[in-house]
């Protein structure tokens, strides 16, 4: 039962968010071999001023290296 959380800066349209959620769902279903009923996707908007404190530090810099499969190309 995968649940994917995408954290992003505000400003994306509802259409963009829906398209991203659909694309992520398709890939999870295909790669992990789950049905559509098993996959959920949430998109959380985080203000740029809060990104370092709320996302970068806890979810990237302090992440378990065995669970962070893609790192960003920036540092804060």
* Domain ranges, ordered by start, for the chain: 3-61
Give the alpha-carbon dihedral of 8, 14, 18, 24, to 10 degrees: -10
Model pTM? Answer: 0.91
pLDDT value, residue 24: 98
Provide the H-helix boundaries in 1-76: 14-32, 51
- Which CATH number is associated with domain 3-61? 3.30.429.10
Nearest residue to 34 (alpha-carbon basis) of 42, 24, 44: 24
pLDDT value, residue 27: 98
pLDDT value, residue 13: 98
pLDDT tens for residues 34-65?
A: 999 999 999 999 999 999 999 999 999 999 99
pLDDT value, residue 54: 98
Indicate which residues carry an active-site annotation: 2
Mean pLDDT across 12-36: 98
Spatial separation of the C-alpha atoms in residues 1 and 50, rounded to whole Å: 30
């Amino acid at each position: 039962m995968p649940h994917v959380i995408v954290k992003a800066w505000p400003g994306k349209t509802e259409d963009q968010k829906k398209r991203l959620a659909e694309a992520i769902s398709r890939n999870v279903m295909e790669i992990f071999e789950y049905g559509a009923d098993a996959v959920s996707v949430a998109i959380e908007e985080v203000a740029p001023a809060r990104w370092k404190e709320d996302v970068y530090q806890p979810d990237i810099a302090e992440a378990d290296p065995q669970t962070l499969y893609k790192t960003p190309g920036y540092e804060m």
